[in-house]
Amino acid sequence: MAEKLIEEKINESLRGDSLANALDLAAFIRANGMGFTSNDDGEGWAVGGTVGDSLGYMMINGEPDMPGPWTFWFNSCDFGGGETADGELKETAWAHSSVCANFSSGGKICGCGDQPGFHGTIFGREFENRCHSPLMFTDPGAKTLEHLKKLILMLK
């Protein structure tokens, strides 16, 4: 069976602004030379690498509850000192630092696959007890989507 393209899943699962924004991000990722690698459940794609080693992860499930209907997680936040980021971009990143809903070990282990939680800085601000995917964008609107794209390019 051929791997389902992320665009097929987006078109099947999303409507309205969610559909338009997810397709926009998928096109942006492809236009910037990054591809998608599907996982086994048909709802998730690694971005810019393999499932175990990628820039981020995009999930499309169309569900109303978190993390749906679609979400983009970063696997790294190594943006450096953020000299090229304006205050609004930094605020967006900080607002999307993801506290793991599955934390059950007092902040030592993220409940998402028993990986170490994120302890570090994002644009000079310290964070701890975060999900191992330190930034999470769930169903971003158009303005947040533009910031998400800038962050992706900073890590590319």
pLDDT, tens digit, 9 for 90 and up, residues 19-60: 999 999 999 999 999 999 988 677 899 998 876 789 999 999
Establish if 87 belongs to a structural domain: yes
Establish if 18 belongs to a structural domain: no
d(CA 141, CA 97): 17
Establish if 26 belongs to a structural domain: no
d(CA 72, CA 67): 9
Using DSSP's 3-state secondary structure scheme, residue 11 falls into: helix
Higher pLDDT, 134 or 32: 32
Domain that holds residue 83: 79-132+141-156
Establish if 37 belongs to a structural domain: no
Establish if 90 belongs to a structural domain: yes
Overall average pLDDT of the 130-145 stretch: 87
94 token code pair: 């900080």
State residue 2's pLDDT score: 45
Establish if 114 belongs to a structural domain: yes
Establish if 110 belongs to a structural domain: yes
Classify residue 138 by burial, with Cβ atoms within 10 Å: 0-12, 13-18, 19+: middle
Q: Name the one residue in this structure whose structure tokens are 């309205």.
A: 16
Provide the domain count of the chain: 1
pLDDT, tens digit, 9 for 90 and up, residues 71-119: 999 988 787 666 778 999 999 999 998 766 665 555 555 556 556 666 6
Establish if 153 belongs to a structural domain: yes
d(CA 72, CA 96): 11
Q: Rounded to two decimals, what is the model's pTM? A: 0.86
State residue 58's pLDDT score: 94
Q: Name the one residue in this structure whose structure tokens are 């304006």.
A: 86
